[in-house]
Amino acid sequence: MIGSLRYLTATRTYIVFEVGLLSRFIEDPHVFHLQGVERVLRYIKGTLTNKIFYANSNDAKLVGYTNSDWAGDIETR
């Protein structure tokens, strides 16, 4: 099951943390690890219809933001 979830993380990146956490215990799993896998599978089943739609547009603008001030160095930044 963990292998299948790891494969699924390629398209559902929001489960990467949970799958990584569960895969730590693949050599010595316990019942509560299986319960964690089942919880992730239930979550995925409940969110199958959620999608993001990106409309095609010729008026695309790339906007970037940064929060760095180069350690406050005004002269050589």
pLDDT tens, per residue, the chain with 77 residues: 899 999 988 888 889 999 999 999 988 889 999 999 999 999 999 988 887 777 787 887 878 877 777 666 666 65
Q: How many CA atoms lie within 13 A of 64 on its CB side?
A: 2
CA 66/CA 24 separation, integer angstroms = 35
Q: What pLDDT score does 58 carry?
A: 82
Q: Look at residue 59 in the predicted model and tell me its pLDDT.
A: 81
Residue 37, pLDDT score:
93
Contacts of 25 (CB under 8 A, 6+ apart): 33
Q: Which two tokens stand for residue 27?
A: 């050599």
Burial grade of 75 (CB within 10 A; 0-12, 13-18, 19 or more): exposed
